[in-house]
Amino acid sequence: MDGNHPKRIDERSAAVLLGLRIAELRRLSRLSSLGLVEKNDPSAPMAFTHEELRRLCLLVSPSMD
């Protein structure tokens, strides 16, 4: 993995890993400003770094408090 270009996970894989529908993943991504649309087209697929997935996971997982 190149340090300048961290590996990204496509939105379909991210949705499966988080147990979400793609539409819900996109909504959470917009609200949290996480993820990247790889083209200037809002309907283009999104991609996420491992750190962004970790942060999204914390948003969707129930709190243990």
Q: Where are the domains of the chain?
A: 9-60
Residues 6+ apart with CB under 8 A from 62: none
Q: Are 59 and 28 in contact (CB under 8 A)?
A: yes
pLDDT in tens, 14-39: 999 999 999 999 999 999 999 998 77
Could you tell me the pTM of the whole model? 0.78
Greater model confidence, 64 or 50 = 50
Q: CA-CA distance, 3 to 25, in Å (whole number)?
A: 26
Greater model confidence, 64 or 29 = 29
29 to 36, 41, 55: CA distances (angstroms)? 9, 15, 10
Q: CA-CA distance, 26 to 5, in Å (whole number)?
A: 22
